[in-house]
A and B are shown apart, each in its own frame.
Chain A
Amino acid sequence: MKKATVIVGLGSCGLAAGAGKTFDEFHRIRQADKLDFEIKKTSCIGMCFREPLVEIIDDTGKYLYGSVDVKRVDEIIEKHIKNFSPIPEYIIESEKYKSEDASFFDGQVKITLRNCGHIDPESIEEYELMGGYEAMRKISNTNMSHEKVIQSVLDSGIRGRGGGGFPAGLKWKFARNNNSDKKYVICNADEGDPGAFMDRSILEGDPHSVIEGMMICAYAIGASEGYIYCRAEYPLAIKRLNIALDQARKKGYLGENIFGIPNFNLEIQIKEGAGAFVCGEETALIASIEGERGMPRRRPPFPAESGLWKHPTNINNVETLANIPWIIYNGPQEFAKYGTEKSKGTKVFALTGKIKHGGLVEVPMGITIKDIIYKLGGGITGDKKFKAVQLGGPSGGCIPEYLSHTIVDYDSVNATGAIMGSGGMVVMDETTCVVDVAKFFLDFTQKESCGKCTFCRIGTKRMLEILTRITEGQGRQGDIELLEEIAHTIKDSSLCGLGQTAPNPVLTTIKYFRDEYEAHIRDHKCPALSCKKLLTYEVIAKNCTGCMACAKGCPVDAIEGEKKQVHHILQDVCIQCGVCFTKCKFKAIRLS
């Protein structure tokens, strides 16, 4: 019998779910019982809703176990490892057993995430075993010219995965065509969209693929220095990138004449972002690396012409770069096999919100939003009614349920008024108020506006004020039109992507849910029962036990009633704070 191998998923979300303790427990029991099996670590496989995840590989095959908290470790070791009898009720997927949750993997195509959750991200050897750095070797062995590399990227049809959707090959070509003694390649890992975490997962799970992608880019455009601009909020990603860079240096993959290509020198360093959403914008990011406030600059000149320290610079997003080695190694046609006419390949989405199976999915372009939500995501939590899906974060918009047959590609998504963005997909059900969501995003962009352009700085603030008063029942006739007017002005007169797209969440929600805005303004009602100030709270007499928890919690003494008697809320005193609703353990407070 071969030694069994236990692989524990230790990505950020796995760790948050307690995977670290699970990992330690396997070690502890192995030592205590003097058992002979191997323990390895890997990163996120994307199935966040069943973390901590543990894979056991033995002679009989692979077994993926879900929700393995510390308490289950002992049982799994006892039954599966010691007695070779797997435990079907904990298994998500194996050759023999397949749980319902395994449908999460059906229809996924893993190119970007090919190694995530399968290899130890802190081992260059494991990356190489999976075909890592073979793309660089192919370039070196077949003397692939710079032009040919760029042509391959062009032929693959890959478009920028950071949100803009600009063809990556074209960007490289511009950088190549500008002559300079010094050029830079930058990896944009400043993933700032709230609700998106695909870049973090790639960096934590497969850092070498991003580094190899940067190498190929550097070779193609003729750059000799690279920067990875990573959010400081991602400490684990930074740690693993540092390990990966050290390993690459030791192997001679970074430095001079790398992969035996004469005069191909490259050094890569990490720059930690200091917390500013606007730095995801190319020119702001460059300013930040130069040590200044991250404020966007006017384009042209584009970074391909005059970027970092005024040298030609190419900036690509993490996800784009992670695809590059695969494209070069397998050929552009293989990549272009997936997707639609104008959007090739696959896209990673972070599926979150009111969804049963939240996590990271990679799907071929062209799949419908409905299929992602119902087939992969398993539907809406609590089988509530699906209302809308938010794509593209603060720059994107809401796509309503009746448009959920929309296919995922840059142009189809843009046509709805949302954007593909970096891939955050937040699912909303009937209890989510779209006006409140629009307010949430405006609150975000208003805080994150760098302040350079007047309309972005002041316009977003005014829009937020209007939205706030609408959700508080103070909306006025004409507010919707006013919002639209300000929105269009901000879009027309902002320098960078942040301002140009900031009004999108408001514009799309007005477009698809105008009646909800009107209900807030005209009837002072929130149809989703979400905006607190627009609700009335009442005691349901038959459920009330007279425990007095609500009355004690009420900050304005609006609840009267004796102990063990049905309570009553004084509507004219109530400030709609919702404390009674959260305090009540007997579901005796009704919202309407």
Chain B
Amino acid sequence: MRIKRIIPEPITDSDPMPETPDLALMNPLIEKYKTRKGNLIPLLQGTQEIYGYIPREAFLKLNHETGLKLNEMYGVATFYAQFRLKPAGKHIIKMCHGTACHVQGVTAITDELSDLLNLKDGETTEDRIFTLETVACLGCCSLAPVMMIEEETYGKLTPKEASKIVKEIRRNEKLLENEEN
């Protein structure tokens, strides 16, 4: 995954440009870490915590206010699997592809969800409801195969159950949307 992410994905016209984020939200974070040694990763983690990803403007602001170099930040952000440079969906589905889950057949489940949502690993649905990600290990090996959506872990899955869970979330989202309209 990392190798893939080192190559920056070009921003094409078809990509919906996210609206400019409220950069003032970062001020307390910058205040806290500004003078600390080794602050680059905590700053990026904090930024992602705020926006769900690291917007381009945030890099520029960090560069401007802390003096961290843009190339170094970008290097780190593309090295670690945790960081995103594009907004993610509202619900991030983390499919555990650890050894135990692999042996218990998680690949079939990921394929099922992949088909259901029409997504590949790391992609987000057009309506920005779901992002599908494979992760190395969630550490619940005896419940394999496992997936995690937000803080909730689902164990002993079958392809059918997994798609039921995802469909359920999607239905709730649609209901919510209709109510808002």
Contacts and interface: CB of A to CB of B under 8 A. Distances in A.
A31 to B, nearest CB: 25
Interface string B55-89: 00000000000000000100110011111000000
A529 interface: no
Interface centre among B38, B72, B81, B99 (most CB of A within 10 A): B99
B141 A192 contact: no
A352 interface: yes
Interface stretch (A160-168, A405-413, A440-448): A440-448
A275 B83 CA distance: 9
A437 B136 contact: no
Nearest to B141: A352
User: Binding site of A, secondary structure by majority: helix, strand, loop or mixed?
Assistant: mixed
A122 to B, nearest CB: 17
A16 B100 contact: no
Contacts of A271: 41-42
Given A291-B39, A291-B76, A448-B2, A232 B82 contact: yes
Contact of B3 (A200, A294, A393, A451): A451
B21 interface: no
A274 B81 contact: yes
A233 B79 contact: no
Contacts of A578: 108
Contact of A16 (B1, B80, B98, B143): B143
Nearest to B139: A197
Contact of B140 (A12, A309, A444, A451): A12
Contacts of B38: 289-291
Interface in A565-592: 578, 582
A291 B80 CA distance: 11
Contacts of A518: none
Interface in A268-302: 271-272, 274-277, 288-294
Interface stretch (A1-9, A353-361, A538-546): A353-361
Interface residues of B, number: 44
A126 to B, nearest CB: 24
Given A289-B38, A294-B79, A195 B141 contact: yes
Contact of A233 (B40, B100, B139, B144): B139
Given A233-B138, A358-B141, A432 B153 contact: no
Nearest to A555: B115
A350 interface: yes
Nearest to B40: A291
A197 B136 contact: no
Interface string B130-157: 0000011111111110100001011100
Nearest to A451: B3
Interface in A429-455: 432, 437, 440-441, 444, 446-451
B42 to A, nearest CB: 8
Contacts of B155: 13, 16-17
Contact of B81 (A275, A309, A353): A275
A432 B103 CA distance: 7
A275 B82 contact: yes
Given A233-B135, A276-B2, A13 B82 contact: no
B99 A353 contact: yes
A232 B97 CA distance: 17
Contact of A276 (B44, B79, B103, B137): B79
Interface in A13-30: 13, 15-17
Interface residues of A, number: 59
A235 B19 CA distance: 30
A527 B79 CA distance: 39
A274 B141 CA distance: 21
A234 B136 contact: no
Nearest to A578: B108
A235 B103 contact: no
A440 B143 contact: no
A306 B122 CA distance: 38
A559 to B, nearest CB: 18
B52 interface: no
A24 to B, nearest CB: 15
A390 interface: yes
A234 B102 CA distance: 20
A200 B6 CA distance: 29
Contacts of A351: 142
A54 interface: no
A440 B101 CA distance: 11
A290 B41 CA distance: 9
A288 B41 contact: yes
Contact of A49 (B41, B99, B100, B142): B142
B39 A440 contact: no
Nearest to A308: B38
B3 A447 contact: yes
A352 B99 contact: yes
Contacts of A444: 136
B37 interface: yes
A428 interface: yes
Interface of B: 1-3, 6, 37-42, 44-45, 72, 75-76, 79-83, 97-100, 102-104, 108, 135-144, 146, 151, 153-155, 159
25 contacts: A12-B153, A13-B155, A17-B143, A17-B155, A48-B140, A196-B139, A197-B140, A232-B82, A272-B41, A274-B80, A288-B41, A291-B40, A292-B72, A293-B76, A350-B141, A352-B100, A352-B141, A353-B100, A353-B103, A358-B142, A359-B142, A440-B99, A441-B99, A444-B136, A451-B2
* A-B complex: 7 closest residue pairs judged by Cβ atoms: A48-B142, A194-B98, A358-B142, A195-B99, A275-B81, A274-B80, A16-B153
Interface of A: 12-13, 15-17, 48-49, 51, 191-197, 200, 232-235, 271-272, 274-277, 288-294, 309, 350-354, 358-359, 390, 393, 424, 426, 428, 432, 437, 440-441, 444, 446-451, 578, 582
